[in-house]
Amino acid sequence: MAAEFFFGAAATAQTLSGGYVLLRYLHTAVYLRGLQPWRALLFLSGMLICWLLALAIIDKIWP
């Protein structure tokens, strides 16, 4: 990941976490307006970030 290459693992975690929070806020706004397929796309994007965070953690702790 580009953020990890330039700034280290903490920056990667911070960038991904911030992106996740932003996507959840957007998902909530879209949910309240009942807009599809944007709601599903934002939800899946948030899930992708969760998987990327999990993979980044596994990459750091796995020998």
CA distance linking residue 54 with residue 50, whole number of Å: 6
Segment 13-18 shows an average pLDDT of: 90
Coil, helix or strand for 1?
A: coil
To the nearest whole percent, how much of the chain has pLDDT over 90? 57
In the predicted model, is pLDDT for residue 8 greater than 80? no
Query: What confidence score (pLDDT) does residue 60 get?
Result: 82
The rounded mean pLDDT for the chain is 88
Q: Do residues 27 and 38 lie in contact, with contact meaning Cβ atoms separated by under 8 Å?
A: no
